[in-house]
Amino acid sequence: MTSFLANSAEHFTNRVLIAQLAARHRLPAIYPAREFVEVGSVLAYGVDNANVWRRIPDMTDQLLRGEKPGDIPFDQQTKFELVLNQTTARSLGLDFLASPLAISDEVIDEQAVAAMHEAGIGP
């Protein structure tokens, strides 16, 4: 069984607890933001929040220059990101197929990072 967690401020605030509970109950889930995957969730697919935040200063500038809020174009997000946590997936007995790994924006794999450090590769 897989579930999807909706995007809300309460979920985002409690993302560490949510990731811990999902792992404890061996529940793979799809999350709306990369920050969930960074704390141990399996997979996130959603809007690139960094892209959204980059637009805010321009909109603020337009408002401060006197433009009416209704005249400022509302951008429909077109950049989405797929972030996978291979370490968590392995702990749940799951393997990602090659195609999601190939198209993902980021794959978190602590085993690979540890192996790179042992080999003297990377930061």
What is the set of domains in the chain, with CATH numbers? 3-118 (3.40.50)
What mean pLDDT comes out for the span 87-107?
Answer: 90
Residues 67-87 have pLDDT tens digits of 999 998 877 888 899 999 999
Predicted local distance difference test score (pLDDT) of residue 110 = 74
> How far apart are alpha carbons 88 and 111 in whole angstroms?
11
Phi and psi of 9, rounded to 5°?
Answer: -60, -40
Tell me the Ramachandran region of residue 109: left when phi exceeds 0, alpha when psi lies from -120 to 50, beta otherwise: beta
Predicted local distance difference test score (pLDDT) of residue 117 = 57
pTM above 0.75, yes or no: no
